[in-house]
Chain A
Amino acid sequence: DQQVKQNSPSLSVQEGRISILNCDYTNSMFDYFLWYKKYPAEGPTFLISISSIKDKNEDGRFTVFLNKSAKHLSLHIVPSQPGDSAVYFCAARNKDFGNEKLTFGTGTRLTIIP
């Protein structure tokens, strides 16, 4: 039972354009959603998060949107840069468990074309 789904395994975007990465979830008990970025042979690094009581959070070029009724969130990167090429994981935290458990999606590989 995959509670966090990233249905696009890969995405290619032209440099300077907007990259939109999507994530769907099924568990209504998730209270925070996080995006992580992962380069090859490195561990994931935290990018941005959003509380379930908000619908948008912005940090520089990165904006996360949350649509609770659709159980959908998206990460927008604008403008996209070559250094953004990486695998992006969506993760969700269950408020019943606090910090103990994050559920991760399977990731989307983003390639920025120069």
Chain B
Amino acid sequence: NAGVTQTPKFRILKIGQSMTLQCTQDMNHNYMYWYRQDPGMGLKLIYYSVGAGITDKGEVPNGYNVSRSTTEDFPLRLELAAPSQTSVYFCASSYSIGGAAEQYFGPGTRLTVT
């Protein structure tokens, strides 16, 4: 079990460029999430998905888009990158079987926009 994998690990973008952050999980989890973490801050939810074909906005969705065509994959698209999107991005997944249904996180993608 690889768990949650993210690519790339690092990326530098110029202002106005676009890119897709990839996220894949092999745990057959139905819920998936994208967070960003800015220095000294907690994780902020960008988008989440409760299953293939279903996505919804989190706390900070502006400037991002997502899609969920399969259970395993949940890519995050940045259009027209801005310096404010410099952050570390984490993908997570969970299985809604009741209880705390803890989320499992990937290793993160460190993105710099200059």
Q: Identify which of A11-19, A74-82, A103-111 touches chain B.
A: A103-111
Question: Which residues of A69-114 are within 8 A (CB) of B?
Answer: 89, 93, 98-107
Instruction: Indicate which residue in A41, A44, A99, A107 contacts B101 across the interface (CB closer than 8 Å).
Output: A99
Is B43 at the interface (CB under 8 A from chain A)? yes
Contact with A along B33-44 (1 / 0, CB 8 A): 000000011111
A41, B103: Cβ atoms under 8 Å?
Answer: no
* Chain B hits for A43, CB < 8 A: 4, 90, 92, 105-108
Among A46, A93, A100, find the residue whose CB has the most chain B CB atoms closer than 10 A.
A100
How many residues of A are in contact with the other chain, CB < 8 A? 25
| A residues in contact with B108, CB < 8 Å | 41-43
How long is the Cα–Cα vector from A4 to B42 in the complex, in angstroms?
9
Q: List 26 A-B contacts (CB under 8 A).
A: A4-B42, A34-B100, A34-B102, A42-B108, A43-B92, A43-B107, A44-B43, A44-B105, A46-B103, A49-B99, A51-B100, A89-B42, A93-B100, A99-B50, A99-B96, A99-B101, A100-B31, A100-B48, A100-B56, A102-B103, A103-B42, A104-B42, A104-B43, A104-B44, A106-B41, A106-B42
Residues of A at the B interface (CB closer than 8 Å) are 4, 9, 32, 34, 36, 41-46, 49, 51, 89, 93, 98-107
